[in-house]
């Protein structure tokens, strides 16, 4: 999509990073991580008796497991996101600090 907006094709051999920098868009992985952690902070700040807080992020499904590698759980993904940004679950209680720590700025801002 960004290539099309810039008028380039794969034949032009321009790196994705260069195109994202030209358009001023952050990488999608970082934005997805930011959105997951923003939701996680929102849930963690809820009262402990809230229905969403009682859910288990790593619930096991009964029955036979399919072939291949086991699927990643939300719990595992959140743990890796927290580890990547060097954050702890306790930091979610201070909303302003949490938002500043998880924000992924666009290159132009």
| Half-sphere exposure at residue 102, Cβ-oriented, CA atoms within 13 angstroms | 28
Cα-based angle 89, 93, 96 (whole degrees, multiple of 5): 115
Per residue in 57-102, pLDDT tens?
A: 656 667 887 889 888 888 899 999 999 999 999 999 999 999 999 9
Report yes or no on whether pTM surpasses 0.85: no
Q: What is the pLDDT of residues 26-60, one digit of tens each?
A: 788 888 999 999 999 999 999 888 888 777 665 66
């Amino acid at each position: 999509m960004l290539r099309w907006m810039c008028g380039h094709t794969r034949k032009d051999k321009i790196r994705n990073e260069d195109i994202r920098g030209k358009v001023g868009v952050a990488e999608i992985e970082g934005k997805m991580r930011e959105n997951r952690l923003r939701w996680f902070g929102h849930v963690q700040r809820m009262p402990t008796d809230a229905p969403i807080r009682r859910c288990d992020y790593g619930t096991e499904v009964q029955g036979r497991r399919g072939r291949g590698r086991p699927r990643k759980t939300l719990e595992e993904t959140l743990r890796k996101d927290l580890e990547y940004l060097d954050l702890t679950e306790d930091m979610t209680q201070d909303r302003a600090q949490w938002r500043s720590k998880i924000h992924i700025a666009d290159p132009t801002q």
